[in-house]
Amino acid sequence: LVTDEGTDKVAGNLRGLGTTLEDAGKKAALAGGVMSAAITAPLLALGNRAVDAASDMAESMSKVNVVFGGSADVVAEFAAGSAQNLGMFQQTALDAAGSFGNMFDAMGIGAEVNAEMSSGLLQLAADLGSFNNIDPTVMLDKLRSGLVGEAEPLRAVGVMLDAAGVKAKAMAMGLADNEKELTQADLAQARYALIVEQSGNAMGDFARTADGMANGSRILDAKMNDLMITIGQRLLPVKLQLMEVVGGLLAKFQALSPGVQDIIVKVGMVAAAAGRRRDPVAFLAPSSQ
Protein backbone atom coordinates (compact mmCIF):
# COMPACT_ATOMS: atom_id res chain seq x y z
CA LEU A 1 0.00 0.00 0.00
CA VAL A 2 1.13 3.53 -0.77
CA THR A 3 1.00 5.73 2.26
CA ASP A 4 0.05 9.41 2.28
CA GLU A 5 3.65 10.19 3.14
CA GLY A 6 4.86 8.27 0.06
CA THR A 7 2.34 10.05 -2.18
CA ASP A 8 3.42 13.44 -0.89
CA LYS A 9 7.07 12.53 -1.50
CA VAL A 10 6.39 11.47 -5.12
CA ALA A 11 4.35 14.63 -5.75
CA GLY A 12 7.16 16.73 -4.30
CA ASN A 13 9.71 15.05 -6.53
CA LEU A 14 7.52 15.65 -9.59
CA ARG A 15 7.09 19.32 -8.71
CA GLY A 16 10.86 19.61 -8.25
CA LEU A 17 11.45 17.96 -11.62
CA GLY A 18 8.93 20.31 -13.25
CA THR A 19 10.68 23.34 -11.76
CA THR A 20 14.05 22.04 -12.90
CA LEU A 21 12.79 21.50 -16.44
CA GLU A 22 11.17 24.94 -16.49
CA ASP A 23 14.41 26.56 -15.32
CA ALA A 24 16.35 24.62 -17.94
CA GLY A 25 13.91 25.80 -20.61
CA LYS A 26 14.33 29.43 -19.56
CA LYS A 27 18.12 29.09 -19.53
CA ALA A 28 18.08 27.49 -22.98
CA ALA A 29 15.87 30.28 -24.30
CA LEU A 30 18.17 32.86 -22.74
CA ALA A 31 21.23 31.15 -24.21
CA GLY A 32 19.52 31.10 -27.60
CA GLY A 33 18.86 34.81 -27.34
CA VAL A 34 22.45 35.52 -26.39
CA MET A 35 23.70 33.39 -29.29
CA SER A 36 21.34 35.23 -31.63
CA ALA A 37 22.54 38.64 -30.44
CA ALA A 38 26.23 37.67 -30.39
CA ILE A 39 26.45 35.56 -33.55
CA THR A 40 23.35 35.52 -35.74
CA ALA A 41 22.71 39.28 -35.82
CA PRO A 42 26.35 40.19 -36.58
CA LEU A 43 26.48 37.52 -39.30
CA LEU A 44 23.33 38.90 -40.89
CA ALA A 45 24.76 42.42 -40.74
CA LEU A 46 28.03 41.18 -42.24
CA GLY A 47 26.13 39.38 -44.99
CA ASN A 48 24.10 42.46 -45.87
CA ARG A 49 27.24 44.61 -45.93
CA ALA A 50 28.99 42.08 -48.16
CA VAL A 51 26.05 41.94 -50.57
CA ASP A 52 25.93 45.75 -50.75
CA ALA A 53 29.68 45.85 -51.46
CA ALA A 54 29.31 43.27 -54.23
CA SER A 55 26.40 45.20 -55.71
CA ASP A 56 28.42 48.44 -55.70
CA MET A 57 31.30 46.58 -57.34
CA ALA A 58 29.03 45.31 -60.12
CA GLU A 59 27.73 48.84 -60.74
CA SER A 60 31.26 50.26 -60.96
CA MET A 61 32.36 47.49 -63.31
CA SER A 62 29.35 48.12 -65.51
CA LYS A 63 30.27 51.80 -65.66
CA VAL A 64 33.84 50.95 -66.68
CA ASN A 65 32.62 48.61 -69.44
CA VAL A 66 30.35 51.30 -70.88
CA VAL A 67 32.89 54.13 -70.66
CA PHE A 68 36.00 52.33 -71.95
CA GLY A 69 34.43 49.79 -74.29
CA GLY A 70 37.12 47.57 -75.77
CA SER A 71 39.75 49.05 -73.43
CA ALA A 72 37.78 48.20 -70.28
CA ASP A 73 39.91 45.11 -69.59
CA VAL A 74 43.02 47.30 -69.27
CA VAL A 75 41.36 49.37 -66.55
CA ALA A 76 39.83 46.34 -64.81
CA GLU A 77 43.18 44.53 -64.71
CA PHE A 78 44.90 47.58 -63.27
CA ALA A 79 42.19 48.04 -60.63
CA ALA A 80 42.39 44.36 -59.65
CA GLY A 81 45.72 45.05 -57.93
CA SER A 82 44.61 48.32 -56.37
CA ALA A 83 44.56 47.01 -52.79
CA GLN A 84 48.25 46.03 -52.79
CA ASN A 85 49.56 48.57 -55.28
CA LEU A 86 47.47 51.64 -54.46
CA GLY A 87 46.07 51.05 -50.98
CA MET A 88 42.67 51.62 -52.54
CA PHE A 89 39.46 49.57 -52.53
CA GLN A 90 39.03 47.86 -55.90
CA GLN A 91 35.52 49.26 -56.22
CA THR A 92 36.80 52.76 -55.39
CA ALA A 93 39.50 52.43 -58.05
CA LEU A 94 37.02 51.27 -60.67
CA ASP A 95 34.55 54.00 -59.79
CA ALA A 96 37.24 56.70 -59.95
CA ALA A 97 38.58 55.37 -63.25
CA GLY A 98 35.05 55.33 -64.63
CA SER A 99 34.50 58.95 -63.56
CA PHE A 100 37.78 60.09 -65.14
CA GLY A 101 37.02 58.07 -68.25
CA ASN A 102 33.54 59.50 -68.58
CA MET A 103 34.97 63.02 -68.34
CA PHE A 104 37.67 62.32 -70.94
CA ASP A 105 35.14 60.64 -73.22
CA ALA A 106 32.95 63.75 -73.10
CA MET A 107 36.02 65.78 -74.13
CA GLY A 108 36.52 63.57 -77.15
CA ILE A 109 39.61 61.67 -76.01
CA GLY A 110 39.83 58.20 -77.59
CA ALA A 111 39.21 55.03 -75.57
CA GLU A 112 42.80 53.77 -75.62
CA VAL A 113 44.35 57.06 -74.46
CA ASN A 114 41.43 57.48 -72.08
CA ALA A 115 42.13 54.12 -70.38
CA GLU A 116 45.85 54.88 -70.12
CA MET A 117 45.28 58.31 -68.56
CA SER A 118 42.56 57.08 -66.17
CA SER A 119 44.74 54.22 -64.90
CA GLY A 120 47.70 56.57 -64.61
CA LEU A 121 45.68 58.95 -62.47
CA LEU A 122 44.92 56.16 -60.01
CA GLN A 123 48.64 55.51 -59.60
CA LEU A 124 49.33 59.25 -59.30
CA ALA A 125 46.71 59.53 -56.56
CA ALA A 126 48.41 56.72 -54.61
CA ASP A 127 51.94 58.07 -55.04
CA LEU A 128 51.14 61.75 -54.45
CA GLY A 129 48.95 60.81 -51.50
CA SER A 130 51.71 58.67 -49.99
CA PHE A 131 54.42 61.28 -50.63
CA ASN A 132 52.35 64.08 -49.09
CA ASN A 133 50.61 61.98 -46.41
CA ILE A 134 47.19 62.59 -47.95
CA ASP A 135 44.46 60.00 -48.35
CA PRO A 136 44.50 58.74 -51.98
CA THR A 137 40.76 59.36 -52.37
CA VAL A 138 41.37 63.02 -51.45
CA MET A 139 44.14 63.11 -54.03
CA LEU A 140 41.72 61.78 -56.65
CA ASP A 141 39.52 64.82 -56.05
CA LYS A 142 42.52 67.16 -56.33
CA LEU A 143 43.60 65.56 -59.59
CA ARG A 144 40.08 65.78 -61.00
CA SER A 145 40.00 69.49 -60.16
CA GLY A 146 43.38 70.08 -61.78
CA LEU A 147 42.39 68.34 -65.01
CA VAL A 148 39.42 70.69 -65.51
CA GLY A 149 41.51 73.79 -64.92
CA GLU A 150 41.34 74.41 -61.17
CA ALA A 151 45.00 74.97 -60.34
CA GLU A 152 44.72 75.69 -56.61
CA PRO A 153 44.01 72.15 -55.24
CA LEU A 154 47.25 70.74 -56.69
CA ARG A 155 49.53 73.58 -55.59
CA ALA A 156 49.65 72.07 -52.10
CA VAL A 157 51.42 69.01 -53.55
CA GLY A 158 53.83 70.99 -55.73
CA VAL A 159 52.02 70.88 -59.08
CA MET A 160 51.59 74.19 -60.95
CA LEU A 161 49.05 74.38 -63.74
CA ASP A 162 48.97 78.01 -64.89
CA ALA A 163 47.29 78.79 -68.20
CA ALA A 164 50.50 79.80 -69.98
CA GLY A 165 52.30 76.65 -68.93
CA VAL A 166 49.40 74.44 -70.04
CA LYS A 167 49.27 76.12 -73.45
CA ALA A 168 53.02 75.81 -73.92
CA LYS A 169 52.83 72.12 -73.02
CA ALA A 170 50.01 71.52 -75.47
CA MET A 171 52.04 73.10 -78.26
CA ALA A 172 55.15 71.11 -77.31
CA MET A 173 53.07 67.91 -77.50
CA GLY A 174 51.89 68.87 -80.97
CA LEU A 175 48.30 69.21 -79.81
CA ALA A 176 48.00 72.81 -80.97
CA ASP A 177 49.78 75.71 -82.57
CA ASN A 178 49.40 79.46 -82.33
CA GLU A 179 46.62 79.46 -84.89
CA LYS A 180 44.54 76.69 -83.36
CA GLU A 181 42.22 77.20 -80.41
CA LEU A 182 42.86 74.63 -77.71
CA THR A 183 40.04 72.16 -77.16
CA GLN A 184 39.09 70.70 -73.81
CA ALA A 185 40.74 67.45 -74.86
CA ASP A 186 43.98 69.30 -75.69
CA LEU A 187 43.95 71.08 -72.35
CA ALA A 188 43.22 67.93 -70.36
CA GLN A 189 46.07 65.99 -72.02
CA ALA A 190 48.48 68.88 -71.50
CA ARG A 191 47.49 69.21 -67.84
CA TYR A 192 47.89 65.47 -67.36
CA ALA A 193 51.38 65.58 -68.86
CA LEU A 194 52.37 68.49 -66.61
CA ILE A 195 51.05 66.71 -63.53
CA VAL A 196 53.12 63.63 -64.38
CA GLU A 197 56.25 65.72 -65.03
CA GLN A 198 55.93 67.72 -61.82
CA SER A 199 55.24 64.63 -59.68
CA GLY A 200 58.66 63.08 -60.33
CA ASN A 201 59.73 63.04 -56.68
CA ALA A 202 56.52 61.29 -55.65
CA MET A 203 56.58 58.62 -58.36
CA GLY A 204 56.76 55.16 -56.84
CA ASP A 205 56.45 56.47 -53.28
CA PHE A 206 53.54 54.20 -52.41
CA ALA A 207 55.56 51.10 -53.30
CA ARG A 208 58.64 52.43 -51.49
CA THR A 209 56.71 52.97 -48.26
CA ALA A 210 54.21 50.10 -48.51
CA ASP A 211 55.68 48.53 -45.37
CA GLY A 212 55.07 51.66 -43.30
CA MET A 213 52.18 52.08 -40.92
CA ALA A 214 50.13 54.49 -43.06
CA ASN A 215 50.27 52.60 -46.35
CA GLY A 216 50.28 49.22 -44.61
CA SER A 217 46.99 50.13 -42.93
CA ARG A 218 45.51 51.30 -46.24
CA ILE A 219 46.53 48.03 -47.91
CA LEU A 220 45.01 45.95 -45.11
CA ASP A 221 41.75 47.93 -45.16
CA ALA A 222 41.54 47.61 -48.93
CA LYS A 223 42.16 43.86 -48.83
CA MET A 224 39.50 43.42 -46.15
CA ASN A 225 37.03 45.36 -48.27
CA ASP A 226 37.89 43.29 -51.33
CA LEU A 227 37.35 40.13 -49.27
CA MET A 228 33.94 41.50 -48.32
CA ILE A 229 33.15 41.91 -52.02
CA THR A 230 34.20 38.30 -52.70
CA ILE A 231 31.88 37.06 -49.94
CA GLY A 232 29.09 39.28 -51.23
CA GLN A 233 29.48 37.93 -54.76
CA ARG A 234 28.77 34.46 -53.37
CA LEU A 235 25.77 35.68 -51.39
CA LEU A 236 24.28 37.99 -54.02
CA PRO A 237 22.61 35.22 -56.10
CA VAL A 238 21.03 33.85 -52.92
CA LYS A 239 19.63 37.25 -51.99
CA LEU A 240 18.32 37.76 -55.51
CA GLN A 241 16.51 34.42 -55.34
CA LEU A 242 15.11 35.34 -51.92
CA MET A 243 13.89 38.68 -53.26
CA GLU A 244 12.18 36.85 -56.12
CA VAL A 245 10.42 34.49 -53.71
CA VAL A 246 9.34 37.33 -51.40
CA GLY A 247 8.14 39.33 -54.40
CA GLY A 248 6.02 36.38 -55.51
CA LEU A 249 4.50 36.01 -52.04
CA LEU A 250 3.69 39.71 -51.90
CA ALA A 251 2.01 39.51 -55.30
CA LYS A 252 -0.10 36.57 -54.10
CA PHE A 253 -1.00 38.43 -50.90
CA GLN A 254 -2.09 41.50 -52.85
CA ALA A 255 -4.29 39.28 -55.05
CA LEU A 256 -6.27 38.06 -52.03
CA SER A 257 -9.55 39.58 -50.96
CA PRO A 258 -9.41 42.28 -48.24
CA GLY A 259 -11.11 39.91 -45.79
CA VAL A 260 -8.52 37.18 -46.24
CA GLN A 261 -5.72 39.76 -46.00
CA ASP A 262 -7.13 40.97 -42.66
CA ILE A 263 -7.20 37.42 -41.31
CA ILE A 264 -3.59 36.78 -42.33
CA VAL A 265 -2.44 40.05 -40.76
CA LYS A 266 -4.25 39.31 -37.51
CA VAL A 267 -2.84 35.77 -37.34
CA GLY A 268 0.63 37.22 -37.91
CA MET A 269 0.13 39.72 -35.08
CA VAL A 270 -0.93 36.93 -32.72
CA ALA A 271 2.12 34.85 -33.71
CA ALA A 272 4.41 37.84 -33.18
CA ALA A 273 2.91 38.48 -29.75
CA ALA A 274 3.38 34.82 -28.81
CA GLY A 275 6.97 34.97 -30.00
CA ARG A 276 7.62 38.00 -27.81
CA ARG A 277 6.40 36.10 -24.77
CA ARG A 278 9.22 33.61 -25.42
CA ASP A 279 11.82 36.23 -26.18
CA PRO A 280 14.56 35.98 -23.52
CA VAL A 281 15.10 39.74 -23.70
CA ALA A 282 11.41 40.34 -23.09
CA PHE A 283 11.56 37.80 -20.26
CA LEU A 284 14.36 39.71 -18.59
CA ALA A 285 12.80 43.12 -19.26
CA PRO A 286 9.02 42.57 -19.47
CA SER A 287 6.66 45.16 -20.85
CA SER A 288 5.16 47.63 -18.41
CA GLN A 289 1.68 46.78 -19.70
**Range with the lowest mean pLDDT among 104-118, 139-153, 230-244?**
230-244
The pLDDT > 70 percentage for the chain reads: 73
**Predicted local confidence at residue 83, as pLDDT:** 92
Mean pLDDT of the chain: 80
- Are residues 125 and 139 in contact, defined by beta-carbon separation less than 8 angstroms? yes
pLDDT digits (tens, 9 = 90+) for 137-158: 999 999 999 999 999 999 999 9
- CA 64/CA 99 separation, integer angstroms: 9
Instruction: Output 255 or 146, whichever has higher pLDDT.
Output: 146
Assess contact for 73 and 59: CB atoms under 8 A: no
Listed in sequence order, the DSSP H helices in the chain are: 4-35, 41-68, 72-80, 82-86, 90-107, 111-131, 136-147, 152-155, 163-172, 184-198, 205-208, 213-255, 258-277, 280-284
Percent share of the chain, pLDDT over 90: 46
Residue 6 or 202, more confident: 202
Q: Is the pTM of this model over 0.75?
A: no
Residue 50: pLDDT band (50, 70, 90) is confident
